[in-house]
A and B are shown apart, each in its own frame.
Chain A
Amino acid sequence: MKTSPLSLQNVSKSFGGKPAVEDVSFTVEPGQIIGFLGPNGAGKTTTLRMALGLIKPDSGTVKLFGEEPGEAAFGRIGFLPEERGLYKKQTARDSISHMARLNGMKKAESYQLADEMLDRYGLSEAKRKKNKDMSKGMAQKVQLLAAIAHDPEFHILDEPFSGLDPVNQQVLEGIVREIASRDRTIIFSTHVMEHAERLCDRIILMAAGRKVFDGTTEEALAQAPRRVVLASKDETLPEFVAPFSESVETKPDGSLVLTLKPKAQAHDILEKSVNDGLRLTRYEPARATLHEAFVALVGRDVVETMELEGEL
C-alpha cells in the first residue's frame, strides 16, 4: 500500500494572536487531484506552507510521505508558490535546470529535460531568453516547469491559474492532466471554480481558517441548490410549483426559476404536470455548479464580500 503523500491532523496556526488555520484535518491519497478552494485569508497558503514544513503548526501534526515535513521529502515534491518569480538574468533553460538539479538531477540530464519541456509546452523560442525579457505568462509557465521538472510524486501548486490569460489557463489545465496521467498526486489551490470542477476528483473547501467541506466533486455539487426552469401559458403555474420549491424567481420572459426543496425532485414536477394536465412550454433542470455549492457551503455574505474583492 502506498504511503499517503500528505496528512494533516487537527492542525492550527495563529499569527500575532490571530488564528490563520483552525483545527484542519485531511489526508491526500496517492493519485488524487485535489482542488483546495477558498477565499483570500481562508488559510490555504498557510496550510500548504505547514504541509511543506516551511512553518510549524501551533498544534496538530503534519505528515509528508508519512514523516515530519523536511528533507525526507526533498526531491519528491514539486512546489509552485503563490507569489511568482524567477531570477531575472537567468535563461528559461537555466531556471528549469537549476531547480531540477537542486532536486537531485544530473546537469546534462537537467538541460536535456529543460529543452524537451520548453519544446513540448510551446516555449522553444524562450529557451535562451532571459526571464526578464519574457511575458508574464511565459515566465509563469517557466516557473511551473521548473517546479515540476524533476517529475515529483506530489505536486503542491498554490494558485497556479492566477494571472494567466484564458489560453494559458487551458495550457496549464493540459499540464495538470498530463501530470495526473502519470499517476502523480496533485493538490492545487484556486479561486476559479471551473478549473476545479473540470480537473479535480476531490474538493477541500476552506473558509475563515477552517475546512468547511471535503469530498468528491459530485458530493460538492450535491451541496448546491438544485434548480429547474419552468414556463407555461397556464396562469396557475406558480401555485402548481409551490409544494416543490423553496424559492421562486420570475424571469422577465415570465419563466420561473425554482430552487427545489431538499426532498423534491425535478422529475416529480414533470410527472405531476402530466397527471394534472398542466401544459409546460419549458422544462429545464439546471446543472449545479461548484460555485453554487461554494455559496451554499460558505454562505451568501462571504461570497458577496469575495465578489466585491474580485476573488470570484
Chain B
Amino acid sequence: MSFLPKVDLRRTFLIARRDYLGYVKTWGFWLSFVTPILFGVIGFFAGNSDFDISPPRYETIIDETGQHEAGILARLDARYEARERATILAAATILPEDFRTELETTYDTRGKDAALDLLNDRSPGLASGLKPVERDLIFVDAPANTIEDLTPWLSETKTLMIDGKEQPLSGAVSIKTGETGEPVIAYWTTKFTNTQAENLVNGYFKDLAENDYLASGGLEAKALDTARKSAPEVETFDPTKSGDTEGSGQQVTMTDKIPFLAAGALAGLLWLNIFAGSYMLLTSMLEEKLNKLLEMMLASTRFAEIIFGKLIGVAALTLTAMAPYLIMGVVGVLYFIFFGPDKEIAEGLIAAFSAKMIIFLIIFFILGYVLYGAFFIALGALSSSMQDAQTLTTPIMLVMMAALIVVPIGLNNPDSPLITIASFIPFSAPFAAIISLPSDPPLWQLLLSTAWLALWCVIVISVASRIFRFGLLSGAGLEVVTNWFKRTVLRRKA
C-alpha cells in the first residue's frame, strides 16, 4: 500500500492550470496586481511634482506683552532646522556608520551647508535627491491689532496677499498679561483640528517654565542638554565573533543584526503568502462546490488529483499576485549586495539570504502552505455558502493568527524555548523555524521539525481528502458537521 495517494501529473496540471487561469484571466486579479504598482508610481510622481497635499497654514501672533513672539518664532525656526538635519542624516542611513558619524559632527559643528557638501562629495546621487524641508506653518504680520478686528480674516471673508496670491489666515495666537501678571494665551481659529500652532506655543511656554525653574537654581537648560549629550553610550559585543581580547572586531554591527531582521521579514512574508493562498483555496473550493462540476470531474479524475491540482494552481496564483513585491525585494537585496555603498549592509544581507535560509524558506513555504491549504480545502468542501465558510474557518484563522506571534518573540528573543517548541507545533513550525535560523539552531533540530511537519502534512491531506470527499458528495453545508457531532459525539439523533 502506498503511503501517498497516486496522482496522474497531466490531470493534476490541467486542474492547476484551470484554477490558475480562472483567476488570472479576470479583471479583478489584474486590478489588484497593478494597484500597488500604480500607487507606487502615483506616489513617486506626487513626491516629485509641485502638488502639495498639505499647503502651508498662515497664522499670526498678537503679543500684547511684547515678550514672547520672537521666542515662539525662534522655536519654530529651530523645529524646521531639526527637521532639515534629520532629513540629511536619514539620507545617509545606507552609508557606512563612520561616515554617518562624520556627517553628524560636521552638521553640528560647521552647519548645514558643510554637511551637504560632505554628503555631495561622498554620494552626489543622495545629495541631489534631497529636497528642502517645506514649511507648513508660517507666521505673518497681523493685518489687525485685535482679535475682534481679525475676525473677517479668520472667518475668511477677507484674505491675505502673500507673494501675489490670496491666502486665508488660518489662526491667530493672542498673548495678554493676566491680572496676576502671568501671560494669558488664546488661540483663535476656525480650523481647530490642526493643532500645530497650539502645540508650538504650548512647547514654548513649557520650555520657558523649565528655564525659569533651572535658573532659580543657577542652572541653564543649554548646559543640561550638553551634559546629556556628552554621556557615554553602551557598545554591544558578541563573544562568539572573532577579535582580540580587548573586544576589537567583536562589536555588534548592522551586519550582525540584518539576518535577524531579514528572518523576521521573511517569516512575516511567509505567513502572508500562506494566509493569502489558503484563503484563495477556500473561495476556490467553495466556488467549485457551488458550480456542481466536481462530481462530473470525478468520473475521470482522482480526488487527490483535484486536491493537489488546486494546491498547485493557487500556489502559482499566490506567487503571481506577490510577484511585484518579490521581484522588488529580490532586486533591492541584490542592489545592496552588489552596488550598495555600505559594506556592512551588503555583508549582512549575504548572511541573511544564505543558501540554508533560501532552502528552508522554500521547504517551509511548501509544507506550511500544504498544511493550511489542505485544511481550507476540506472546510471549503464542507461549506455550502460564504457564511458557512466563515463560521468553519474562524477557529483555524485564530490558530493562524496565534502562530504569527512567534515573529515578534523570535525577533526579541531568538533563543526563547517558545520558539523551539513552536518549531515542533505543525501550525507554527514554518514561521518559528524561519525566525530561528539566524540563531543557527542545530541542523538535526531543523530537519526533525521539517520531517515532523511533513508527516503532519500527509496526515492532514489524508483527513482533508476524506472530509473533501464527504463534504462534496453530501451536498450539504455546516449542518453536516453539526449532525455528525450530535450523532457521534453526543449520541443523539441528528
Q: Across the interface, do A98 and B18 meet the contact criterion of CB distance under 8 Å?
A: yes
Q: Which of B298, B299, B302 contacts A78 (CB 8 A)?
A: B299
**Contacts A/B (CB < 8 Å), 8 sampled:** A54-B473, A75-B300, A77-B299, A79-B299, A81-B296, A85-B290, A86-B293, A99-B296
- Is B128 positioned at the interface, with any CB of A under 8 Å from its CB? no
One of A87-95, A229-237, A301-309 at the interface: A87-95
Give the A-B contact count at a CB cut-off of 8 A.
67
- Using CB atoms, name the residue of chain A closest to B23: A89
A52: B residues at CB distance < 8 A? 298-299
| B22 contacts A87, C-beta separation under 8 Å | yes
CB pair B22–A85 under 8 Å, yes or no, is no
A146 lies within 8 A of chain B by Cβ: yes
**Residue on A nearest B302 in the bound complex, by CB:** A71
B residues within 8 Å of A by Cβ?
6, 11, 14-15, 18, 22, 25-26, 287, 290-293, 295-302, 473, 475, 483, 487, 494
Would you call B483 and A16 a contact (CB within 8 A)? yes
Chain B contacts of A196 at CB under 8 A? Answer: none
Q: Which residue of A lies closest to B6 (CB)?
A: A71
A49 contacts B by Cβ under 8 Å: yes
- Are B494 and A16 in contact, CB atoms less than 8 angstroms apart? yes
Asked whether A206 is an interface residue with its Cβ less than 8 Å from the other chain, the reply is: no
| Contact A89/B291 with A16-B494, A80-B296, A99-B296 known, Cβ cut-off 8 Å | no
* Chain A residues positioned under 8 Å from B292 (CB to CB): 81, 83-85
A55 within 8 A of B: yes
Cβ distance B181 to chain A, nearest Cβ, rounded Å: 79
Interface size class of A (residues with CB under 8 A): 20 to 34
Are B295 and A81 in contact (CB-based, < 8 A)? Answer: yes
Q: Is the CB of A89 within 8 A of B473?
A: no
**Chain A hits for B473, CB < 8 A:** 49, 54-55
Residues of B within 8 A of A101 (CB): 14
Whether A85 touches B299, Cβ cut-off 8 Å, given contacts A49-B473, A54-B473, A98-B14, is no
Instruction: A79 to B300: give the CA distance in the assembly, Å.
Output: 9
Q: Within the assembled complex, what's the spacing in Å between the Cα atoms of A83 and B475?
A: 10
**A103 part of interface (Cβ distance < 8 Å):** yes
B300 engages A102 (CB within 8 Å): yes
Asked whether any CB of chain B lies closer than 8 Å to the CB of A147, the reply is yes
Q: Is the CB of A121 closer than 8 A to any CB of chain B? A: no
Whether A26 sits at the interface, judged by CB under 8 Å, is no
Please judge, given known A-B contacts A16-B487, A54-B473, A98-B14, whether A88 and B295 are in contact too, CB under 8 Å: no
Candidates B6, B15, B290, B296; contact of A147 at CB < 8 Å = B296
Once bound together, how far apart are the Cα atoms of A142 and B265, in whole Å?
48
Residues of B close to A99: CB separation below 8 A: 296-297, 300
* Distance between B223 CB and nearest chain A CB, rounded to angstroms: 73
Known: A16-B487, A77-B299, A77-B300. A102 touches B293 (CB 8 A): no
Given the contacts A71-B302, A102-B14, A89 and B297 also touching, CB distance less than 8 Å: no
Most chain B beta carbons < 10 A, residue from A87, A143, A156 = A87
